[in-house]
Structure 1
Amino acid sequence: MGLAVHGILFIILFLMHAWAFREKSLKFFSPAGWPKNIGIHFGLLSAGILLWGIYPVWYHGLSKSFNLLFGEEGISWTWTIVIIALSGLAFFIGKRQAKLVDFSEAHFLRKPATLILIIYFLARIIFLIAYEMWFRGWFLGELLADFGKIWIAIGINTALYSFIHFFAGRKEAISAIPFGIILCLLAIELQVVWPAAVIHLFLSLGFELNFILRLNNDNISR
Structure 2
Amino acid sequence: MISVESKWTIIAIVFFTYFLVSWVYKRLEVVNLEKALLIRNGLRLLNLKHSLGIVLFGVLFYIIFPELRDLITNIEVPRLELLLSFVVLTILSAMISRISVKRIIQTEGGNSHYKFSNAWLYFIIRFVFLFCYEFFFRGVLLFSLLEYFNPTYAITLSVIAYLVIHLFDSKKEIIGAIPFGIVLCILAYQTQSIWYVFTMHLALSAVYEISIFYHQTLKT
Shared topology, TM-score over 0.5?
Answer: yes
The structural deviation recorded for 1:40 is 2.2
Residue 159 of structure 1: aligned partner: 160
Alpha-carbon RMSD: 2.3
Distance of 2:100 and 2:14 partners within structure 1: 30
Distance of 1:110 and 1:104 partners within structure 2: 15
The structural deviation recorded for 1:28 is 1.5
Percent of aligned pairs with the same residue? 27
Residue 90 of structure 1: aligned partner: 93
Residue type of the alignment partner of 1:120: Y
The structural deviation recorded for 1:119 is 0.4
The structural deviation recorded for 1:35 is 4.3
Distance of 1:41 and 1:212 partners within structure 2: 13
Which aligned pairs between 1:97-108 and structure 2 lie closer than 5 A?
Answer: 97-102=100-105, 105=108, 108=110
Flag structure 2 segments of 5+ consecutive residues without an equivalent.
Answer: none
Residue 29 of structure 1: aligned partner: 34
Distance of 2:134 and 2:172 partners within structure 1: 21
CA contact (8 A) 1:27 1:34 kept: no
Which aligned pairs between 1:163-182 and structure 2 lie closer than 5 A?
Answer: 163-182=164-183
The structural deviation recorded for 1:131 is 0.3
Distance of 2:174 and 2:95 partners within structure 1: 19
1:58 and 2:63 are equivalent in the alignment: yes
Moved more, 1-10 or 209-218: 209-218
Residue type of the alignment partner of 1:71: N
Alignment deviations for residues 51-104 of structure 1 (CA, whole Å, 9 cap, x no partner): 00111111134x852x21252643233322221111111111111111111467
CA contact (8 A) 2:166 2:173 kept: yes
Number of equivalenced pairs: 214
CA contact (8 A) 1:94 1:206 kept: yes
